[in-house]
Amino acid sequence: MTLQLKDPGLLKTQAYIDGQWMDGSVGDSFEVTNPATGDVIARMASVGAAETRLAIEAAHRALPAWQAKTAKERSAILRRWHDLMLAHQDDLALIMTSEQGKPLTEARGEVAYGASFIEWFAEEAKRVYGDVIPTFANDRRLVTIKQPVGVVAAITPWNFPNAMLARKAAPALAVGCTFVMKPAKETPLSALAMVELAERAGIPAGVLNLVMGDSASVIGNELTGSPLVRKVTFTGSTPVGKLLLKQCAESVKKVSMELGGNAPVIVFDDADLDQAVAGAVASKYRNAGQTCICANRILVQDGVYDAFVEKFTTAVNALKVGNGLDEGVTMGPLVSERAVREVHGLVEDALAQGARATTGGSPDSRGACFYQPTVLTDVNRDMRVFREEIFGPVAPIFRFKDEAEAIAMANDTEVGLASYLYTRDVGRVWRVSEGIEYGMVGVNEVGISSEVIPFGGIKESGLGREGSKYGLEDYLEVKYICMGGL
Ligand code: ADP
């Protein structure tokens, strides 16, 4: 099946190294399939260690000239990249839905979200200030300057094939770093289309490189092992993040890690129940549950538990499951058959231990990658759905008695990315927001993501923040200069 793009030039299947589109040296390839239909969309060049090394060397060579541009010059180029992404929003969304599965409206939203990081950091990088420090000795003057860390390697997942790359590439390029990216092999086409637009925007050869391949670890070893790479930024699973951290330790690289979550949505007795139901459904079933900030555990206070379950189940039954390209579809397939098996394993574990499905509970007959939107009650902390990141359209609804128990349940996990609470009590808003161990808290709101906010987690959810004024710091080094002999 070929994609009907307005601009067929956006469909790229080769790696991009030093401004050249390239196949792997041994001619290896891998396929990208549409999870809604199982159709093969494209056959991709698969590159390995040698090509990854070329990409790193190209980024290293490109660094001095890119760094020497003024922030305003880099900003103008990035601004063009942003504009081109929006101008091609329809094509980029079509490519994304076809390889990833999310409904077209969500894909369009992600393209705009990704582009917003490029606009934001193009603007922010013009305001990277150093300091003049009051001196400790009269014959000396003290200043700091901020400089780009150097060559950055980015490894990104398939759930947000555009935005996860944009929010790493934008701050890196804006401050003068050069970049080698490895997208997930499930969704390389979105990343490649972005690279094509970057080239059209005038990003010079070597500044932005893309490698992809059948073996993530071969490319990953090269990126983390190279002394030329000064920073690795990763979004993905906690186990792979830990592995990359270990690999980066060898050459003491800077790292940013955006890893797994286990987000609680805490609904108190005094919450606006309709608002809480709408928020919890939106947070849980967006991208078919495949986001790291998706509601993972819904915690509901005794007094409203039954009413919440009833309203929530009704809302879930109203979701329209199908091919993301079809009109009106609100939930697409999961990314792969393996994902369906993993999600079903979690559901079977819960059901075997006494949980009850008020709706769903099985793979969906629409296709191999579809799973029914599922709601589980009678769940407890011994079940895998309490501890593990579900990454699918399954909502376990747990019961709690009081605020202290809710906080204890929310914190009973090694990860701490996003969390949400619904209550009208302003004192409780503060107590709970301060008491739960998460990097982000949504109060009566689940739509918390934006380029203007610091996105990131604590505990095993990661290191660093993406977006906002803080997002630049991860791509900068502070240099102290002491001027003496005055
Ligand atoms: P998921 O389970 O969501 O696919 P992963 O952490 O496995 O999450 O994947 C996120 C990204 O990490 C992808 O680009 C994947 O190819 C990459 N990846 C997986 N294993 C490794 C590895 N050993 N070294 C480097 N990158 C890896």
Residues 370 and 393 in one domain: yes
258 flagged as catalytic: yes
Q: What is the pLDDT of residue 230?
A: 98
Task: Determine which residue's CA is closest to atom 19 belonging to ligand 1.
Answer: 216
Q: How far is the CA of 220 from the centre of ligand 1 (A)?
A: 9
Give the amino acid at 241: G
Which residues lie with the beta carbon below 6 Å from any ligand 1 atom?
155-157, 182, 184-185, 216-217, 220, 236-237, 240, 243
Q: Which atom in ligand 1 lies closest to the alpha carbon of residue 235?
A: 10
Q: How far is the CA of 180 from the centre of ligand 1 (A)?
A: 15
Task: Determine which residue's CA is closest to atom 4 belonging to ligand 1.
Answer: 157
Bridge partner residues of 482 (DSSP): 142
Residues 204 and 346 in one domain: no
Residues 24 and 171 in one domain: yes
Residues 48 and 152 in one domain: yes
| Residue 454 included in any domain | no
Within 10 angstroms of residue 238's Cβ, the number of other Cβ atoms is: 19
Task: Determine which residue's CA is closest to atom 14 belonging to ligand 1.
Answer: 184
Q: Which atom in ligand 1 lies closest to the alpha carbon of residue 239?
A: 6
Residue of 218, 240, 292 with the most ligand 1 atoms within 8 Å of its CB, for mutation: 240
Q: What is the pLDDT of residue 149?
A: 98
Q: Which atom in ligand 1 lies closest to the alpha carbon of residue 157?
A: 10
| Residue 1 included in any domain | no
Q: Which two tokens stand for residue 134?
A: 């009051």
| Residue 415 included in any domain | yes
Considering the candidates 119, 258, 460, 466, report the single residue annotated as catalytic.
Answer: 258
Q: State how far the Cα of 398 lies from the Cα of 122, in Å rounded to an integer.
A: 44
Q: What is the pLDDT of residue 262?
A: 97
Residues 425 and 465 in one domain: no
456 to 163, 234, 318, 329: CA distances (angstroms)? 14, 12, 32, 30
Task: Determine which residue's CA is closest to atom 18 belonging to ligand 1.
Answer: 216
pTM metric for this prediction: 0.97
| Residue 53 included in any domain | yes
Residues 326 and 381 in one domain: yes
E-state strands within 113-224: 131-133, 141-148, 151-155, 178-182, 208-210
What CATH number corresponds to the domain at position 125?
Answer: 3.40.605.10
Q: Read off the pLDDT of residues 276-330 as tens digits, 9 standing for 90 and up.
A: 999 999 999 999 999 999 999 999 999 999 999 999 999 999 999 999 999 999 9
Q: Which two tokens stand for residue 381?
A: 């902390």
User: Domain total for the chain?
Assistant: 2
Residue 279, C-beta contacts closer than 8 angstroms, at least 6 positions apart: 265, 420, 422, 442, 444, 445, 446
Q: Read off the pLDDT of residues 28-72 as tens digits, 9 standing for 90 and up.
A: 999 999 999 999 999 999 999 999 999 999 999 999 999 999 999
Residues 253 and 268 in one domain: no
Give the amino acid at 150: G
Task: Determine which residue's CA is closest to atom 25 belonging to ligand 1.
Answer: 220
Q: Nearest Cα to 292, choosing from 192, 408, 156, 422?
A: 156
Q: Which two tokens stand for residue 355?
A: 């949980």
Q: State how far the Cα of 305 lies from the Cα of 396, in Å rounded to an integer.
A: 12
Q: How far is the CA of 405 from the centre of ligand 1 (A)?
A: 35
Q: How far is the CA of 154 from the centre of ligand 1 (A)?
A: 11
Q: Which atom in ligand 1 lies closest to the alpha carbon of residue 159?
A: 3
Mean pLDDT of 405-413: 98
Q: What is the pLDDT of residue 24?
A: 86
What CATH number corresponds to the domain at position 420?
Answer: 3.40.309.10
- Mean pLDDT over the full length of the chain: 97
Bridge partner residues of 153 (DSSP): 180, 232
Find the domain containing 115 and state its range. Answer: 8-259+461-480
Q: Read off the pLDDT of residues 249-272 as tens digits, 9 standing for 90 and up.
A: 999 999 999 999 999 999 999 999
Q: How far is the CA of 358 from the centre of ligand 1 (A)?
A: 34
| Residue 236 included in any domain | yes
Whether 1 shows a pLDDT value over 60: the answer reads: no
Bridge partner residues of 154 (DSSP): 181, 233
Q: How far is the CA of 269 from the centre of ligand 1 (A)?
A: 40
| Residue 3 included in any domain | no
Residues 229 and 163 in one domain: yes
Strands across the sheet containing 141-148? 131-133, 141-148, 476-483
Q: Read off the pLDDT of residues 64-120 as tens digits, 9 standing for 90 and up.
A: 999 999 999 999 999 999 999 999 999 999 999 999 999 999 999 999 999 999 999
Residues 379 and 439 in one domain: yes
Q: Nearest Cα to 22, choosing from 50, 47, 57?
A: 47
Residue of 30, 155, 223 with the most ligand 1 atoms within 8 Å of its CB, for mutation: 155
Residues 272 and 368 in one domain: yes
